[in-house]
């Protein structure tokens, strides 16, 4: 793959700083994915070393180990690496700015990596979210609920039948849509200031949101501080350890950097939860009713064509389970 290597050496200066290479574990030279790793100390010739090294040493945000992160492949100009200890995947990006990324284009099919037509599929999404609310109520029947990354508030609309709800959303248009619909939604990131204004809560949900966060561990740690003892955090995200993800590799439907930056496995989710003092109370791979328009949108994208906006089939949905997405309930122990 000479082309990939050229790209790598062009960009490697900004991304692979000396601090990444300082650990002795970084002195591996794994030339190709799947090839036998031939460990060669090549620190003397730094240029050759830098252009050829693919594996890197990082402190993993999930398991907390300073571990070898194996280079898997490049996707959308990002290196995809996987922690050898716990299986957490990470996308290495250059200067990704979420605030300029999550605009209304993201939800309306204007960008090939976003949603086909989020608002147009409200009926199907609301039905799906009603099921999620039922699921959550098995663990906590009522109380205060915070949705981090609440988009247009469809989940909150279902949840408010049982919970006292509020939300945080980065996309201004979406947050404004929520407020016009009578929801208590703040525009911005889940930071100390915003969470301080919201106070503590009983349930926090991150539905397909954790993989978008610049630093998921820091955000979850912050959220734990604003969670009452005995409260729960509900997370849905892809399963990087799933069969589909492993077989599809760079073509996995959820392998969409720089939109998705983190790829959790069951083990990495468990490791991160434990290190933050949370108990994994439940983990499964739920069935999901997916709008036909989104299926068609993703199939078109995977075939390499540029997706067009689809007027039909927004009201139709299909039950789908590729067992490559997981739903996790984390509990903060009662004092
Ligand atoms: Zn790890």
pLDDT tens, 149-194? 999 999 999 999 999 999 999 999 999 999 999 999 999 999 999 9
- How many whole angstroms from 126 Cα to the centroid of ligand 1? 35
**Contact by Cβ (8 Å): 167, 150:** yes
Give the residue, 335 or 204, on which the prediction is more confident: 204
Predicted confidence at residue 125, as pLDDT, reads 87
What's the mean pLDDT in 52-63?
Answer: 85
- How many whole angstroms from 139 Cα to the centroid of ligand 1? 28
Coil vs helix vs strand at 125: helix
- How many whole angstroms from 277 Cα to the centroid of ligand 1? 17
Predicted confidence at residue 335, as pLDDT, reads 75
**Contact by Cβ (8 Å): 305, 220:** no
Q: Which tokens go with 107?
A: 């939800």
DSSP 40-81: ----SSHHHHHHH---EEEE-TTT--EEEEEEEEEETTEEEE
Mean per-residue pLDDT over the chain, rounded? 81
**Contact by Cβ (8 Å): 201, 226:** yes
CA distance 176 to 321: 33
Q: How far is CA 328 from CA 78, 132, 208, 322, in A?
A: 27, 12, 11, 17
Strand-pair category, 78-83 with 66-75: antiparallel
- How many whole angstroms from 116 Cα to the centroid of ligand 1? 33
Predicted confidence at residue 308, as pLDDT, reads 57
Give the residue, 16 or 318, on which the prediction is more confident: 318
- How many whole angstroms from 104 Cα to the centroid of ligand 1? 34
**Contact by Cβ (8 Å): 90, 80:** yes
**Contact by Cβ (8 Å): 96, 56:** no
- How many whole angstroms from 190 Cα to the centroid of ligand 1? 24
The string of pLDDT tens digits covering residues 4-19 is 333 333 333 333 333 3
CA torsion, ordered 270, 275, 278, 279, to nearest 10 deg: 40
- How many whole angstroms from 164 Cα to the centroid of ligand 1? 36
The full length of the chain comes to: 335
- How many whole angstroms from 55 Cα to the centroid of ligand 1? 14
- How many whole angstroms from 280 Cα to the centroid of ligand 1? 17
- How many whole angstroms from 241 Cα to the centroid of ligand 1? 13
- How many whole angstroms from 81 Cα to the centroid of ligand 1? 11
Q: Which helix (H) or strand (E) holds 327?
A: strand 325-331
- How many whole angstroms from 324 Cα to the centroid of ligand 1? 19
- How many whole angstroms from 25 Cα to the centroid of ligand 1? 14
The sign one gets for the Cα dihedral 234, 235, 236, 238 is negative
The sign one gets for the Cα dihedral 120, 122, 123, 125 is positive
- How many whole angstroms from 208 Cα to the centroid of ligand 1? 20
- How many whole angstroms from 233 Cα to the centroid of ligand 1? 21
What's the mean pLDDT in 118-123?
Answer: 79
- How many whole angstroms from 272 Cα to the centroid of ligand 1? 9
The string of pLDDT tens digits covering residues 301-317 is 777 766 555 555 566 77
CA distance 278 to 232: 9
Q: Which tokens go with 43?
A: 């620190």
First to last CA, the chain: 55
- How many whole angstroms from 84 Cα to the centroid of ligand 1? 7
CA distance 207 to 85: 26
- How many whole angstroms from 62 Cα to the centroid of ligand 1? 5
Predicted confidence at residue 111, as pLDDT, reads 57
The string of pLDDT tens digits covering residues 93-103 is 876 566 666 66
pLDDT of 299 over the 60 cut: yes
Coil vs helix vs strand at 154: helix
- How many whole angstroms from 45 Cα to the centroid of ligand 1? 29
Predicted confidence at residue 52, as pLDDT, reads 42
Predicted confidence at residue 300, as pLDDT, reads 77
- How many whole angstroms from 65 Cα to the centroid of ligand 1? 6
Q: How far is CA 315 from CA 123, 128, 181, 310, 312, in A?
A: 7, 13, 21, 12, 8
What's the mean pLDDT in 282-288?
Answer: 94
Q: Residue 289: pLDDT band by 50, 70, 90 thresholds?
A: confident
Q: Residue 87: pLDDT band by 50, 70, 90 thresholds?
A: very high
- How many whole angstroms from 309 Cα to the centroid of ligand 1? 39
- How many whole angstroms from 61 Cα to the centroid of ligand 1? 7
Predicted confidence at residue 319, as pLDDT, reads 85
Report, in this order, helix, strand and coil percent for the chain, each rounded to 5: 35, 25, 40
What is the greatest pairwise CA distance in the chain? Answer: 65
- How many whole angstroms from 60 Cα to the centroid of ligand 1? 4
Segments in 108-242 forming alpha helices (H): 122-137, 154-159, 172-180, 192-198, 216-225
- How many whole angstroms from 86 Cα to the centroid of ligand 1? 4
In sequence order, which residues have a C-beta less than 8 Å from that of residue 297 and are 6 or more positions away? Answer: 109, 116, 307, 310
pLDDT of 139 over the 80 cut: yes
């Amino acid at each position: 793959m000479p082309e990939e290597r050229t790209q790598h050496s062009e960009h490697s200066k900004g991304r692979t700083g000396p601090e990444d290479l300082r650990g002795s574990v970084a002195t591996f030279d794994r030339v190709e994915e799947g090839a036998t790793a031939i460990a060669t100390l090549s620190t003397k010739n730094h240029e050759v070393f830098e252009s050829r090294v693919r594996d890197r040493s990082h402190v993993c945000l999930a398991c907390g180990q300073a571990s070898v992160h194996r280079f898997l492949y490049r996707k959308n100009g990002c290196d995809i690496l996987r922690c050898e200890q716990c299986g957490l995947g990470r996308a290495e990006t250059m200067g990704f700015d979420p605030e300029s990324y999550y605009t209304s284009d993201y939800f309306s099919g204007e960008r090939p990596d976003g949603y086909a037509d989020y608002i147009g599929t409200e009926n199907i999404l609301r039905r799906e979210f009603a099921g999620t609310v039922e699921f959550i109520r098995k663990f906590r029947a009522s109380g205060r609920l915070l949705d981090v990354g609440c988009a247009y508030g469809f989940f909150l609309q279902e949840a408010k039948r049982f919970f006292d709800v509020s939300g945080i959303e980065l996309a201004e248009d979406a947050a404004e849509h929520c407020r016009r619909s009578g929801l208590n939604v703040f525009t911005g990131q889940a930071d100390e200031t915003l969470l301080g204004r919201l106070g503590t809560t009983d349930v926090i949900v991150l539905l397909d949101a954790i993989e978008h966060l610049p630093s998921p561990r820091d955000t979850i740690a912050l959220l734990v501080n604003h969670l009452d003892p005995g409260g729960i955090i509900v997370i849905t995200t892809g399963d990087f350890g799933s069969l589909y993800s492993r077989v599809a590799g760079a073509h996995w439907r959820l392998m969409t950097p720089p939109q998705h930056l983190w790829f959790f496995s069951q083990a990495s989710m468990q490791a991160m939860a434990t290190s933050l003092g949370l108990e994994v109370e439940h983990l499964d791979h739920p069935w999901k009713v997916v709008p036909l328009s989104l299926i068609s949108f993703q199939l078109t994208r995977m075939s390499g064509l540029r997706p067009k906006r689809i007027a039909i089939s927004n009201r139709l949905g299909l039950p789908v389970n590729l067992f490559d997405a997981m739903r996790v309930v984390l509990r903060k122990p009662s004092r």
